[in-house]
Chains A and B, each alone.
Chain A
């Protein structure tokens, strides 16, 4: 089957700056893709190219089998990062207007609008002006505007930024529901935990280049753990026997236990077995790399938690809305 999104060797420049370079992407129909990368990595530019809001300097785009998203606009739902509402417009009128712009006609539009507003808890705001809604409510409204016409392809640019945990969960459920209905979903985020919780497959972009494109289990397999988490059975045990083991590069205290970093060239599982033999363990395991670990490793080229990574990690966990 033709993929929902197919980008081949896309490059886009803004003056001197190359926002996206030689970017390939293939999102199969019905997939749930996470598009991750730090701020300024080129996520929004790539998404705008997919939506034909921007046009690439070179490369081929195919969306839902068409050469341009413009030819398939009614089948695409898009929640942009730069999003807003008409401040003076009534909530239900706004949603109806957006549905009509997406080709929905007839009397059932307003019925559909009403039921969607009920579902996300905005039922009693239908007659209010958009400016009276809180920011979170506006965001839900914008999300509804992207899905009210039941699109085949849903592109969400930072959908969770600025949402409280309750609304973030509500939105996540709605995204999963759309996916369950058969829609292809591509969403971008710079918050790694969201991508881990939601996607089947992750595309990572950094500095305009694709640096990773794999399933989550695939990523974990590829990035074998090079650290061991160890808790001794006897809380008073000394760490020296562990530090002396062959293959242990360093040892540091972590959460009431220790974290052992393994030298390249040694098998982490063999080191683990040797450690358990040296010191009786209450708990000993290979550390599963998080998406964040993988990302940081790719971006900085380092494995250990050096000081240069602190800022990056902080940015990747950021939940607060930092969109301009």
Chain B
């Protein structure tokens, strides 16, 4: 056992204490950090103030006054202030209070973007204007014209009682900020609706009151009581757990494959086998890479936890879930890791390993395809069945456990039992292939040869 630990220690250090690993594991947080800082500074940087004119060909003769009022800078500023106040109300408490850090910066960014007011002048053109000629001004470099609106004559009153209302055409300059386009659209819609309603002899406020039903947030009822349903979190949390499991398993598994191929191709393996048995070697390597996976899990998991703490959402994670994460990680690592170690032992170099790795990678892609359907319907018959199919059962089970309706405990433990059986089978198969393969050089084995090796060992 002591020797297995020596092998494990070497394996761990040889993987972790390399520039590649440190760079790889730190790269992700660095990229995330840069993105956050970058987005903040972009958000802080107020875009250049938009100035220019909006031309309007009004065939009704009634619309231009309303649109002009709507697009006046003072009116836009007033609307944005209202919007900003609404956003501030809707922000989570932690974001509203914190002045520094991510929370403060994010709030500043959102509010600053809302308060940037464009300066638009409405120019009413004569209805007899040549529209083609007016359009050309949108192309000219020196012109101040940003948009051209042509309001149809029947946009306020129908031509016949059963025909639909007319509308308007909108032409804009290239690369016009879409927020400006939205302002123009909304201005026209508001004005046209206002005029249609009043011409129909109705009260606009009454119509709005009659058609308004608020958006209601759902509340999740559990045996612990009622709580707000956090819909985004319901989808993201299972994904986060699956990702954590996947990254940890793959980091350790990949390294296991690489070091085994290296040991074989550098011919150090037979030197090792003079001191320890192939089983001790494989056990030590799997154990060493298990620790590598735990390091990855701790780093990324820690980052996730830090993010949750900064949003005061740490409470959404059930501590038991972490325990199950570890259990399922152990199962997934032993199954995937031992298969990859066997592949490493069977081939001569990394290129040959790629082709044998294909099927393993394909299987590992399945949880990614299943993530959405399973996190949406964690108790569907399909999800339940997939929880007992190795080697994807640890991934599926974690998705279900982190979802809004966790599976009953018996299913969890049955899945763990299935996992343990699959661990035993994978280790059995891998140990046989490893024992024979690690000293075989030459043509890489096909499936038939592998089966023969298993029989031989």
Residues of chain A in range 38-76 having any CB-CB distance to chain B below 8 Å = 48, 51, 53-54, 70, 73, 76
B274 to A73, Cβ gap below 8 A?
Answer: yes
A100 at the interface (CB under 8 A from B): yes
A87 to B266, Cβ gap below 8 A?
Answer: yes
Chain A residues with CB under 8 Å of B270's CB are 53, 80, 82-83
Query: When A84-B266, A97-B6, A101-B6 are in contact, do A142 and B277 touch as well, CB less than 8 Å?
Result: no
CA distance A145 to B267 in the complex (A): 14
B22 at the interface (CB under 8 A from A): no
Minimal beta-carbon separation of B335 from chain A (angstroms) = 27
Chain A residues with CB under 8 Å of B441's CB are 82, 324
CA distance A102 to B271 in the complex (A): 11
Query: When A53-B439, A97-B10 are in contact, do A146 and B268 touch as well, CB less than 8 Å?
Result: no
A73 to B275, Cβ gap below 8 A?
Answer: yes
Selected contact of B275 from candidates A84, A88, A98, CB within 8 Å: A98
A70 to B267, Cβ gap below 8 A?
Answer: no
CA distance A82 to B266 in the complex (A): 9
A116 at the interface (CB under 8 A from B): no
CA distance A100 to B262 in the complex (A): 21
Residues of chain A in range 269-313 having any CB-CB distance to chain B below 8 Å = none
Q: Is the interface of B mostly helix, strand, loop or mixed?
A: helix
Q: Which residue of B lies closest to A76 (CB)?
A: B274
Query: When A83-B270, A145-B271 are in contact, do A101 and B276 touch as well, CB less than 8 Å?
Result: yes
Q: How many of chain B's residues touch chain A, expressed as a range?
A: 20 to 34
Chain A residues with CB under 8 Å of B268's CB are 83-86
Minimal beta-carbon separation of A156 from chain B (angstroms) = 11
Chain B residues with CB under 8 Å of A98's CB are 271, 275
CA distance A48 to B10 in the complex (A): 25
A51 to B274, Cβ gap below 8 A?
Answer: yes
Residues of chain A in range 69-125 having any CB-CB distance to chain B below 8 Å = 70, 73, 76-80, 82-89, 97-98, 100-103, 105
A86 to B266, Cβ gap below 8 A?
Answer: yes
B331 at the interface (CB under 8 A from A): no
Mask, B251-285, CB within 8 Å of A = 1, is 00000000000110011111111111100000000
Q: Which residue of A lies closest to B274 (CB)?
A: A78
Chain A residues with CB under 8 Å of B276's CB are 73, 101
CA distance A48 to B268 in the complex (A): 15
Q: Which residue of A lies closest to B3 (CB)?
A: A101
A83 to B10, Cβ gap below 8 A?
Answer: no
Q: Which residue of B lies closest to A157 (CB)?
A: B270
Minimal beta-carbon separation of A82 from chain B (angstroms) = 5
Q: Which residue of A lies closest to B267 (CB)?
A: A84
Chain B residues with CB under 8 Å of A80's CB are 267, 270-271, 273-274
CA distance A87 to B3 in the complex (A): 21
B6 to A83, Cβ gap below 8 A?
Answer: no
Minimal beta-carbon separation of B351 from chain A (angstroms) = 18
CA distance A164 to B389 in the complex (A): 59
Query: When A80-B274, A86-B14, A146-B274 are in contact, do A100 and B6 touch as well, CB less than 8 Å?
Result: yes
B6 to A89, Cβ gap below 8 A?
Answer: no
Chain B residues with CB under 8 Å of A100's CB are 3, 6
CA distance A234 to B269 in the complex (A): 63
A53 to B273, Cβ gap below 8 A?
Answer: yes
B7 at the interface (CB under 8 A from A): yes
- Report 25 cross-chain contacts, Cβ distance below 8 Å, ordered by A residue: A51-B273, A53-B274, A70-B277, A73-B274, A73-B275, A78-B271, A78-B274, A80-B267, A80-B273, A82-B267, A82-B439, A83-B268, A84-B267, A85-B266, A86-B14, A86-B266, A86-B268, A88-B18, A97-B10, A98-B271, A98-B275, A101-B6, A101-B275, A101-B276, A146-B274
- List 11 additional contacts besides A83-B267, A84-B271; criterion CB under 8 Å: A51-B273, A51-B274, A53-B273, A76-B274, A82-B270, A86-B266, A88-B14, A89-B14, A101-B3, A102-B275, A145-B271
* A-B interface, 4 closest residue pairs, ranked by CB to CB distance from nearest: A84-B267, A78-B274, A101-B275, A80-B270
A-contacting residues of B (Cβ < 8 Å)? 2-3, 6-7, 10, 14, 18, 262-263, 266-277, 439, 441
